Amino acid sequence: MDFRASLCRWCPKRDEPLEGCRPCPRFRKYSDGDDAPLSAHDFCSVCLHEDDETLKVFCTRNRYYQQDLSEDFDCYQFRLAVQEKP
């Protein structure tokens, strides 16, 4: 099942082959069956923007406002930066 149509609305990789999403936290949750809630750390640690000074305020506020929610973390600025190792 390809979960990306409904859950990865911000990601430009959602129309690419699913295997390219393997390093993404959502892939682990929805393809591998990991049922732990997705946190900001899960996403930010593999995000292209993790150390981007221009998004520092946005990212800090986004993590702050979502920290106590019972639902999975989400970020429209998330861009997968980590490639899977062979």
Q: Note whether 42 and 76 are within 8 A (CB).
A: no
Q: Note whether 56 and 35 are within 8 A (CB).
A: no
pLDDT of residue 14: 87
pLDDT at residue 86 above 50? no
Tell me the pLDDT tens digit for each residue of 17-63.
988 898 999 998 988 888 888 999 999 999 999 999 999 999 999 99
The model's confidence at residue 3, banded by pLDDT at 50, 70 and 90, is confident
Task: Find all residues with CB under 8 Å of 15, minimum gap 6, and list them.
Answer: none
Question: What pTM does this model have?
Answer: 0.80
pLDDT of residue 19: 87
